[in-house]
Amino acid sequence: MRNIFAFSLLASLFLSVPAQATLLGDDSHIQLKHIMASVQSKPGGYTTKIRPLTPIMTIPKAEDVSFVCQRAPRAAEAILYYFSKYPAPVDKKRKLDMKALKKQVRKIAAYVNKAIGRNVVSEVYVVEGGKSMGRGVMARLPFARSQGCGRVMDEYEERMGDLLGGKKK
């Protein structure tokens, strides 16, 4: 019951967040769709398994959010490439080792920045996909709210339409 309440509270927070950060320089967090990435089968193991992971990128400047969202498929592909070279580590219970992944956030961001052609992503966090975001994973990560690219791109297209001559009715 407590997990359902926490999840509904987080869901209401996600829905009330504006599509873009209000102050320039704010750290915006963009959540990509789940990807199927390589994860170690056991701690220190050489064999891998495929698991769903949810990447969440930190973008320091609010004006770069739409640029990153336009290139989200390239970012997802760069993250997949990173995990194909360096499978995500697991702990003794075979869950993602969040401490080890937290040390790799800047290295993953370097792969994403290379793929999109600009140095705009500062960190890339990974959460195991398919699980409720309200269970305690959010409390361990440095961000409390994230946004998807769909809302950002809708707002971007609306602004571009206004700049180019307004909406057609």
The one-digit pLDDT tens for each residue of the chain (169 residues) are 444 444 443 444 344 344 444 333 477 888 888 899 999 988 888 888 999 999 999 999 888 888 998 899 999 999 999 999 999 999 999 899 999 999 999 999 999 999 999 999 999 999 887 544 555 555 555 544 556 676 766 777 787 788 888 655 4
Q: Are 147 and 14 in contact (CB under 8 A)?
A: yes
Q: Which residues contact 116 (CB under 8 A, 6 or more apart)?
A: 67, 68, 71, 74, 75, 78
- Look up the pTM and report it: 0.70
Q: Are 135 and 9 in contact (CB under 8 A)?
A: no
Looking at residue 22, its pLDDT comes to 39
The 3-state DSSP class for residue 59 equals: strand
| Cα dihedral 121, 124, 129, 135 sign | negative
Helix 105-116 to helix 72-85 angle (10° resolution) is 130
Q: How far is CA 25 from the centre of its chain?
A: 18
d(CA 111, CA 108): 5
